């Protein structure tokens, strides 16, 4: 499972950072799920290793421009790629009307189908391998955070042991792999759990932006492999964070600590901490690490890979 950061600035782009978007490449299938789509996201995709043609789902946190202005252009380009058949788009109320207006007034006609889903608390989409959950965050407009979960997989099946016990191959192997108790033609009862190794625990990613510290962020991030959390302000600028309902470095770290995550990745940085200013991005990182050591800052085109668990 591979995470690629396409934009890590808050509000406006800078020379080194575009506005919000994160691509998640799903393992073992040529599919990408996009989290937010700020202006020029399609340009960032062209400069990355992520293929636009593999995007099948887009999840929007809220309707502020630095999270949605890139969506109409990306959708238009996906149509010109010629190999996109359908994209599901998830987001708050108003997203469908926004897209309808953009496509109508620009006279853009997509060569593929899209479906806009209004996000509510709980599971917003799922299949046999993955599901995405949403929960409300605390921002100036309706906003949701997301939790992407890979379902647990059965442990490795010990074929040699089954053969040594003269268990006939075929459908019986399939039932044993599922941990079922099977009665063989000779009358023996075999417990499939005796042939399966430890289950492979599914990977989990939490994405929380834009928001001030809230309980929903902690719930979404519970035991996640990676928490991607906005860090718009330094701790000493907490007054602005409360006024604008954004998080500080220490708030993001507190969420990570309370949720028992493995890795915190900070993003959505205010341009005020660019080189030459009194407070730098490195200061925000150090503030967070004082609370949660496993913290790293994201930068545009950074790729982070989550390896599968073996237990």
268 annotated ligand binder: yes
What's the CA gap between 209 and 40, in Å, rounded? Answer: 19
Do the annotations mark residue 191 as ligand-binding? no
66 marked as part of a ligand binding site = yes
SS3 assignment, position 62: coil
Is position 139 annotated in a ligand binding site?
yes
210 labelled ligand-binding:
yes
The closest alpha carbon to 228, from 308, 302, 139, belongs to 302
- Round to whole Å and give the CA distance between 162 and 231: 52
Give me the residue label for tokens 């309808």. Answer: 100
**Residue 112: both structure tokens together:** 């593929």
Catalytic residue among 36, 49, 66, 100: 66
Cα separation of the two ends of the chain:
17
Task: Read off the tokens for 25.
Answer: 């490449």
- 66 as an active site residue: the answer is yes
Question: Beta strands 226-230 and 263-267: pairing type?
Answer: parallel
Rounded (10°) angle between helices 281-289 and 249-259: 30
How is residue 296 written in tokens?
């790293």
- DSSP strands (E only) in the chain: 2-7, 21-25, 32-35, 55-59, 86-91, 113-118, 122-126, 130-136, 144-150, 181-183, 189-191, 204-208, 226-230, 263-267, 295-297, 303-305
Q: Which residues are annotated as a binding site?
A: 62, 64, 66-67, 139, 210, 268
Q: Which residues are annotated as a binding site for Zn(2+)?
A: 62, 64, 66-67, 139, 210, 268
The residues assigned a catalytic role are 66
């Amino acid at each position: 499972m591979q995470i690629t950061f396409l934009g890590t600035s808050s509000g406006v782009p800078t020379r080194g950072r575009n506005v919000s978007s994160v691509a998640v490449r799903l393992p073992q299938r040529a599919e990408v799920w996009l989290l937010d789509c700020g202006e020029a996201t399609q340009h960032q995709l062209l400069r990355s290793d992520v293929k636009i043609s593999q995007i099948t789902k887009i999840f929007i946190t809220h309707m502020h421009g630095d999270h949605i202005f890139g969506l109409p252009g990306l959708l238009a380009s996906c149509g010109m790629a010629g190999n996109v058949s359908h994209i599901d788009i998830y987001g708050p109320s108003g997203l469908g009307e926004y897209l309808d207006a953009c496509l109508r007034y620009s006279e853009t006609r997509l060569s593929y189908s899209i479906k806009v889903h209004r996000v509510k608390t709980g599971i917003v989409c799922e299949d046999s391998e993955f599901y995405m959950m949403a929960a409300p965050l605390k921002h100036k407009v309706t906003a949701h955070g997301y939790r992407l979960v890979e379902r647990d997989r059965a442990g490795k099946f010990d074929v040699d042991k089954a053969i040594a016990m003269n268990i006939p191959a075929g459908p019986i192997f399939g039932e044993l792999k599922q941990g079922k108790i099977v009665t063989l033609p000779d009358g023996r009862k075999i417990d499939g759990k005796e042939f399966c190794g430890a289950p492979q625990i599914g990977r989990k990613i939490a994405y929380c932006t834009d928001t001030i510290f809230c309980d929903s962020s902690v719930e979404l991030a519970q035991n996640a492999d990676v928490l991607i959390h906005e860090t718009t302000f330094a701790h000493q600028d907490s007054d602005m964070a409360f006024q604008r309902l954004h998080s500080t470095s220490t708030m993001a770290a507190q969420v990570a600590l309370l949720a028992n995550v493995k890795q915190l990745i900070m993003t959505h940085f205010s341009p005020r901490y660019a080189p030459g200013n009194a407070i730098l991005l490195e200061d925000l990182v150090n503030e967070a690490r004082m609370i949660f050591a496993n913290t790293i800052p994201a930068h545009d085109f950074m790729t982070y890979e989550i390896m599968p668990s073996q237990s």
